Amino acid sequence: MNARLPASDAGSITRVAGIEVGHFTDTRRPTGCTVVMAREGAVGGVDVRGAAPGTRETDLLNPCNLVEKVHAIMLAGGSAWGLEAATGAVRWLEERGVGFDVAVGRLPIVPAAVLFDLLVGDMRIRPDAAAGYAACAAASTADPAEGNIGAGTGAAVGKIFGMQRAMKGGVGTASITVGGVTVGALIACNALGDVVDPDTAQVIAGARTEDGLRLRDTRRALLRGELPQPLLAGTNTTIGVVATDAVITKVQAHRLAVAAHDGLARSINPVHTMSDGDTLFTLGTGLSGKHPGMLVLATMAAEATAIATARAVRAAQALTTSDGLHLPCAADLA
């Protein structure tokens, strides 16, 4: 159920030292979860820009709060139900002695965010603790698969003019290395808006015309006065993780998450809407022993995020559900 582009084209988040990724894809309906793991601990940050987020443990990432390092980030489908996948990750990590020392044991810190994929197949099937546990068991430092996999399995993009005119979203990843420091991103793209090429600004995937054969270009359609369909808040959302091996503080991790949203804004239009819960986490492993400065790191974070978002739809494959919903992929309309 997944597509894969050569990782050499754009790298991947696992090129960041200390980062592992694992997917779980449910075979009963298109949904799943993806874990980005830093089992030795990584300085964490988060920035939530969408108006309808579904998250767990984001308050502790506030720079003024106590815990500095986290051990994994869970991304999942299933809307709020999917947050349960993080419980499985906590259990998997605890069994391996990974976590924050609380004197009587080790407590794994696993923030999470979810996207809404309940319109694709039987909504009663969604990621749970067992799914999160399985994603951790599958984690490795290999370049992760992209497309219809993990948290992106049931993702769709371009839903402003109705789900019947949407296209398939997915998971994408990319990385950039400058001066011996690497920044990588992994994005699960389930955007309300269109996905555009960050270099050319051309629409790659999104809302289709009435005949379903061409891209509608949502931005221009809205500016022409075409009316969107009534939208249920929170039925979309792009979520992801940006990781670096630079040495960063918790305040700087937060600023990198803020900067990474610039990458979303370059690759999704419209973005950060009232019907999206767009959330990006950051992880800093510090294993390069270097800090090139926040201007460079922020530029790298935005770039990796933009590329990973575009790859999420370019790697996706068309999907038809048992109830007749058809979501073509970018390659179908290229």
Specify which residues 46 forms β-bridges with.
281
Specify which residues 48 forms β-bridges with.
279
Specify which residues 44 forms β-bridges with.
283
CA–CA distance, 17 with 21 (Å, rounded to integer): 12
The whole-number mean pLDDT for each consecutive block of 10 residues of the chain, a chain of 334 residues, reads 51 98 97 98 97 96 94 98 98 97 94 97 96 98 98 97 96 97 98 97 96 95 92 87 98 98 98 96 98 98 98 97 94 92
Q: Let me know: does 175 contact 13? Beta carbons within 8 Å.
A: yes
Q: Let me know: does 116 contact 83? Beta carbons within 8 Å.
A: no
Provide the pairing of β-strand 279-284 with 239-244: parallel
Angle made by CA atoms 50, 167, 282, in degrees to the nearest 5: 35
Residue 283: CA atoms inside 13 Å, Cβ hemisphere, count?
34
What is the arrangement of strands in the sheet containing 203-205, beginning at the earlier edge strand?
A: 203-205, 194-196, 268-269
CA–CA distance, 228 with 100 (Å, rounded to integer): 47
Q: Please name the residues in contact with 42: beta carbons below 8 A apart, sequence gap of 6 or more.
A: 18, 19, 69, 70, 71, 243, 283, 284, 285, 286
Task: Say which residue the tokens 């399995």 belong to.
Answer: 153
Whole-number pLDDT of residue 128: 98
Whole-number pLDDT of residue 6: 44
CA–CA distance, 82 with 101 (Å, rounded to integer): 27
Whole-number pLDDT of residue 9: 72
Whole-number pLDDT of residue 81: 98
The tokens for 158 are 């371009």
Phi, psi of 126 (to 5 degrees): -150, 160
CA–CA distance, 245 with 226 (Å, rounded to integer): 45
For 178-191, b/e burial (b = at least 16 CB within 10 A) is: eeebbbbbbbbbbb
Whole-number pLDDT of residue 265: 97
Domain locations in the chain as residue ranges = 9-333
CA–CA distance, 26 with 23 (Å, rounded to integer): 10
What does pTM read for this prediction? 0.96
3-class secondary-structure state, position 321 = coil
Whole-number pLDDT of residue 256: 98
Top CATH class of 9-333 equals alpha beta
Whole-number pLDDT of residue 158: 97
Task: Say which residue the tokens 């500095």 belong to.
Answer: 68
Whole-number pLDDT of residue 5: 44
Taking Cα atoms as reference points, which of 242, 241, 221, 113 lies closest to residue 158? 221
Maximum C-alpha span of the chain: 63
Q: Let me know: does 149 contact 25? Beta carbons within 8 Å.
A: yes
